[in-house]
Amino acid sequence: MDPVIIVGAGPVGLTLALALARQEVPSVVLDEGPGKDEQRPARTVVLREDTAALMERLAGFPIAEAGFRWAGWRSMRRKQVMQQITFGDDEPAPLHIAQHVLTAALRNAIAGERLVKVAVENRLDSIEQEATGVTAHTRGPKGTWWRGSYLIGCDGPRSTVRKLQDIRFAGRTAVERHAVAALRTELPWPGEALLHRMPPWRMSGPSAGEVTGRPLADGVWRLDWLLPPGKDLVTPELLVARVRETLAGWSGGSTPPYELLDTGVHTVHHRLARRWRVGRVFLAGDAAHLLGALGAQGLDEGLRDADNLAWKLALAWHHGPHDALLDSYQVERRAVVAARLRAADQSLPLLRAGGGLRSVVPGSARGHDALLTDGHLGRGPLGAPGAYADSPLTPPRTESAIDVATEVGAPVVDVRVTAEDGSFVRLRDRLGRGALLVLLIAPGTGVWERKHWVTAGIMPRLAAAVTALPHPAELLVAEAYPGAAAHTVLLIRPDGHLVTALSGVRPADLYEAAEATLGGPRATTEATAGTS
């Protein structure tokens, strides 16, 4: 079968290519650039814990060493600390990393991947679809035609793929504007990220009274100043003055030594593509959505797009197209992003409207800081990982279904598990391989070698049920899982979202849940199309 064509060699496109390769699906990445990325220290991304783990799995080395995990978070209003958080086991720290560093790590991983070909200096200009594949034409020094099984547009906000498919990209422009600087310095709270509203010092030029400071590796900080609505020019001189004023305000009145590395103005737009799938053509990342107000991370959502789509494309590539499964990508991911945009749109008037009654209502300031903290730290409606509870892939609830601490459709907790070879690994380490995961909760198994319990109790019956599933699945065992009683059986998707939790070994219910996860029974026409 022809490879998958991926248009765009940013983090989302490269992530998708690697995720497909891990599931034995070849791809061609069309990169309109020279294959190198400009180093911009002021262009960074904050990754939530599970997304950072995804990057480490795909890149093959600890991404965290190239970024920085915050020691804590504090939000201030004038001179008062409104909230302070110390990260640890109960609340893992986000990972802050320069985007060009992340992209370079993904490119290095792809350089050693036999199933991924990157074609540089190839700009897409046409797409043709047929029943069994897609043909794309590119302009460049060696303009040519490319034949693929599917085509995914990961080509950013001005997506050529989206335009060629005539997909509307409705939304709002310039929802927020920020002046940004990356600099190397020392601040009074090493390793802690800071949100400071209404700082008690005079700010040069236009100001909306909000600044964030977020540490990076090697003593570098990214500072963001929220700008008032409008198109006021932010000159280099004004930005330097603002750097000096802010550092002095945080350091007791005198500006500490600093090295300015990069500056810029970041404008946040809110847009959502009307469709994310047209036949064999899909959209992902900024080509499908734009968000980022109130601290939300658009790239983090784009990486989740790639993770969601990869296992579904892999199933279609290996076993033939299944429309219900492929359609679920748009249903699941678009709903999550739409909910994120709605939450931001509802919060913006509360957080950005100055003066009036809201400014004197008791407790409102603390509530506002909590909302902004949620956005920056990936919590609550503004930032928490999305759940796919209303997905068409969710099986009907059976009598054997039980509730655990993880909601159906939400990402599972990363517990320690015993793999089929007897090794102890983290649950997230088994994701992204294309297989379903079946997790049995069996207290006490962690203190005995697998050979002592693998043939005891309910294990043989469960192993037989797993073998009989309509798709390859890996049987894992954990001593405990939040909210789960002994002998609970969890069915988990390849992207780490919970399908169902069953009380004991229920082969028929497990089979039906697995079949639903794959999009339901295959139609004869679909199966035939996949093998033609």
Cα–Cα dist 76/350, whole Å: 18
Q: Is 3 exposed, middle or buried (0-12, 13-18, 19+ CB in 10 A)?
A: buried
**Which run of H or E residues covers position 240?**
helix 236-250
CATH architecture, domain 4-65+98-171+270-349: 3-Layer(bba) Sandwich (3.50)
| Amino acid 131: pLDDT | 92
Residue 476, strand partner residues: 439
- The count of other CB atoms within 10 Å of the CB of residue 140 is 16
* DSSP per position, 329-366: HHHHHHHHHHHHHHHHHHHHHHHH--STGGGTSTTHHH
| Amino acid 450: pLDDT | 67
- The conformational region for residue 347 under phi > 0 = left, psi -120 to 50 = alpha, else beta, is alpha
Cα–Cα dist 120/138, whole Å: 11
| Amino acid 323: pLDDT | 95
- The conformational region for residue 169 under phi > 0 = left, psi -120 to 50 = alpha, else beta, is beta
For the structural domain made of 175-266, what CATH number should be given? 3.30.9
Residue 97 φ/ψ, nearest 5 degrees: -145, 145
Give pLDDT tens digits along the chain (532 positions).
Answer: 999 999 999 999 999 999 999 999 999 999 999 998 899 999 999 999 999 999 999 998 889 899 999 999 999 999 999 999 999 878 899 999 999 999 999 999 999 999 999 999 999 999 999 999 999 999 977 779 999 999 999 999 999 999 999 999 999 999 999 999 999 999 999 999 999 999 999 998 888 899 999 999 999 999 999 999 887 788 999 999 999 999 999 999 999 999 999 999 999 999 999 999 999 999 999 999 999 988 888 999 999 999 999 999 999 999 998 999 999 999 999 999 999 999 999 998 888 765 433 443 444 566 778 888 999 998 888 888 889 989 999 999 999 999 999 999 999 999 999 998 889 999 999 999 999 999 999 998 765 666 656 777 789 999 999 999 999 999 999 999 999 999 999 999 999 999 999 999 999 999 999 999 999 986 544 444 444 3
pTM of the model: 0.94
Cα–Cα dist 335/352, whole Å: 25
* Helices and strands, number each (H, E), in the chain: 13, 26
Residue ranges of domains in the chain = 4-65+98-171+270-349, 175-266, 387-532
Cα–Cα dist 280/271, whole Å: 23
| Amino acid 448: pLDDT | 62
Rg, Å, the chain Cα set = 24
- Can you tell me whether residue 146 is helix, strand or coil? strand
| Amino acid 229: pLDDT | 87
Candidates 95, 101, 86; CA nearest to 50 is 95
| Amino acid 524: pLDDT | 44
Residue 25 amino acid letter: V
Strand 151-153, strand 4-7: pairing? parallel
Strand 192-197, strand 210-215: pairing? antiparallel
CATH (one of 3.30.470.30, 3.40.30.120, 3.40.50.1400, 3.40.50.2020) for 387-532: 3.40.30.120
Per-position b or e across 417-445, b if 16+ CB within 10 A of its CB: bbbeeeeeeebbbbbbbbbbbbbbbbeeb
Q: Distances in Å between the alpha carbon of 336 and those of 35, 340, 383, 391?
A: 32, 6, 10, 11
Tell me the CB-side half-sphere exposure of residue 406, using CA atoms within 13 A: 26
